[in-house]
Amino acid sequence: MTMLKPHASHWGFFDAVVEGGRVVGVRPFGPDPFPGSLIESVPDVVHAPCRIDRPYIRKGWLEGRRRGAMRGGEPFVPVSWDRVTRLLAEETRRIRTEHGPTAIYGGSYGWSSAGRFHHAKTQLQRFLGLGGGFTSSIHAYSYATGQALMPHVVGTAEILLGRITDWEAIARNARLMLCFGGLAAKNGLVLSGGMGRHDYLPLMRKARAAGVRLVSISPYRGDTEADLGAEWVPIRPGTDAAMMLAMAHALLAEGREDRAFLATRCVGWERLRAYILGETDGTPKTPAWAAPITGVPAETIRRLALDCADTPNMLTAAWSLQRADYGEQPWWMLVALAAMLGTIGRPGQGVGFGYGSTNGMGTPRRELPAVSSPVARNPVPLTIPVARITEMLERPGEVLQFNGRDITLPDIRMIWWAGGNPFHHHQDLNRLLRAWSRPETIVVQEPWWTAVARHADIVLPATTTLERNDIAFSSRDRFVRAMHQAIPPQAQARNDHDMLADIAEELGYRDRFTEQRDEAAWLRHLYERWRQVCAGMGFEAPSFDRFWEEGHVEAPEPPPEEAYTQFADFAADPEEHPLDTPSGKVEIFSETIASFGYDDCPGHPVWIPPREWLGAEKAARFPLHLLSYQPATRLHGQLDPGRVAAADKIQGREPVLMHPEDAAARGLVEGQVVRVFNDRGACLGGLRLDAGLLRGVVTMATGAWFDPQEPGVPGSLCVHGNPNVLTPDVGTSRLGQGPSAQSCLVEVERWDGPLPPVRAHLPPPIEEPA
């Protein structure tokens, strides 16, 4: 008997096709105009050989090899749920008693489930918070630098996270859109919390059809779809701030800056103006100055600047630009450039971040409340920047400077992770692997034998979303989706909430954790709470029973005349609607940031040569700039065992894109397996040639599961193609402390030896107890 079960994922809504207790296929959600291919991998990953079938403990941990143990190279021993529940309660109690709650790091960073109740991070951090507290993290790898910077500059992080100027307003009012980092179609395949409609490409195409000229400023032509007809301006990676400063100089040279806007709605303009003109350092930031830095001709820089002065425009930058050395600078300078043009708050114009980074950015929508699980107050106030995990483990008791604060790093004895994978999203994995040996106990809740599970001490098998009921929601989408359980939990997998409730019972607070609700009661409670708030905002959502039966709720789309422009109220009346900055205005110069005294992020945007870029001395040894991008064939590392990701690989390895002339200079040919390397590590990849890359630039997608040739040995070759064995683990600056993955130099050579097997999608060695 075939059944269809409504469901949702970060890559879209779908119906699961179920036969005989297995998911055998998927059907796209009816209203979705562009469902994409990622949902095709769902059956593969739910029933993958790398599913974790029961609880496991690292053999060495059972034998007492804990702190200082090099994880990843030892077999695992299966244990019962009863035993592992008691062990975890005892270990958690011991760590808190002997070392205090700050010794527990509740990592749990990642996209985990689109469902809002069975959201692994929320469940785990609620469990740890109610149990006495834990060290946590702040910000997100995707845009951590911007999260720290933008509140200082425009008073909010909503310019990259919230309701930004929508595409309807851009299509109606702008005639030019400068896109630093492009508008990559692949990024529109996903949205945290899921989506009923992939509106990303249709909205861009609508703006293009309305007469908006698109300019893609990127090292890769493919960062914008060919059918959008964008002008491609190739630029050296990491040099966008220099180009923006030179555009500002071109505007000043022609007297085209909006002096009224700068005088009434900004502070600090004169400081930046003096820097641009070279009055403070003797170097005018002219287009001629920027041309050899960026690789963009001076006349192109000047022309684009004057086009912006002559044409209603929107300026945008991808999230990836700030994931680089001194990533604060291009984003800050882009805001300053929009301020010079006086476009901030004009209908469909100004500046926004992330239009090319995920679905839902700029989608017209109504403001609705979130469907979300309750969180517990964490009695431990200690947080670290999310991208500084390795540093935290390496330097206990030392001070980390971050956004005006001095953080004393804790001595972490226990890491507890659920719903994410640091061996996917962190940089310099060999350094992380060495630091990973410092804690006494590492606990991971996972459905699959990912790298973080393989490098754990205690592994708890979690259900996938298709083995439980939930509700999907995203603030950037108009739909709320019922996620019906499609199949029973596989093997001994359990829901995160249920396993944590049992551990909480051993520790004496089960009822506080569950609030005496089971899954069904929680879902009804969360939905009815959401429905009540919606009613107060003028939207009458259906009852829970009707919602669950019909499978989704759709909020009405706002009428075109309500096209939204961010900062419109501020632009119209800055006295009545000030920004939430110290001055109430756009802070082109920030006294607050200047007071921190950071030489890597002074009080206004500047050009600071990256530590690794094609203009660095290191480029003599490693002459290629590696850009690691989000894949089109999976979501981060999710779906990597699926058919879509497998079909894209070359001899089982992640593709490496290279310009044909760079390949010819090294004697390399299409389809060959190559070794990509630098001083931090090396990985294999399959060569793919693309003339749409700037010479000297190579690219690899992130998300191929980390697969060291010698498990547990730092520096071992990743045979599968994880680029984060190559990327540097260094903060963007002391202000943002975001990841600098995009500032990475490498070399590429032919791999001549026998091809090592890829074992990433198989279980690790298992030893049955005697």
**What positions carry a catalytic annotation?**
109, 111
Work out whether strand 405-408 and strand 76-78 pair parallel, antiparallel, or are unpaired. unpaired
**Residues 723 and 745: beta-carbon distance below 8 Å:** no
Q: Indicate the pairing of strand 441-446 with strand 458-461.
A: parallel
From the list 330, 308, 309, the residue with the least C-alpha distance to 321 is: 330
Q: Identify whether the C-beta of residue 441 lies closer than 8 Å to the C-beta of residue 61.
A: yes
483, 472 in Cβ contact below 8 A?
Answer: yes
Degrees to nearest 5, angle at CA 62 with 56 and 67:
105
Consecutive H or E run containing 503 = helix 496-507
Residue 381's Cβ-count burial label (10 Å; 0-12, 13-18, 19+) is exposed
Per-state percent for the chain, helix, strand, coil, to nearest 5 = 35, 20, 45
Tell the residue number behind the tokens 């107890």, with chain if given: 769
Q: How far apart are CA 598 and CA 163, in angstroms?
A: 31
| Token representation of residue 318 | 């991808």
CB atoms within 10 A of CB 245: 29
Distance CA 192, CA 309 (A): 36
Number of CB atoms found within 10 A of residue 271's CB: 17
Q: What H or E segment, with its residue span, contains residue 92?
A: helix 81-99
Q: Please say whether the beta carbons of 325 and 612 come within 8 A.
A: yes
| Residue (of 244, 342, 235) closest to 287 by Cα position | 244
Q: Is 703 exposed, middle or buried (0-12, 13-18, 19+ CB in 10 A)?
A: buried
End-to-end Cα separation, the chain, in angstroms:
42
C-alpha 176/C-alpha 50 separation (Å) is 48
Helices (H), 167-295: 167-173, 200-209, 240-253, 259-265, 269-276, 287-294
- What is the rounded CA–CA span in Å between residue 561 and residue 573? 21
Q: By the 8 A CB rule, do 728 and 431 touch?
A: no
Residue length of the chain: 770
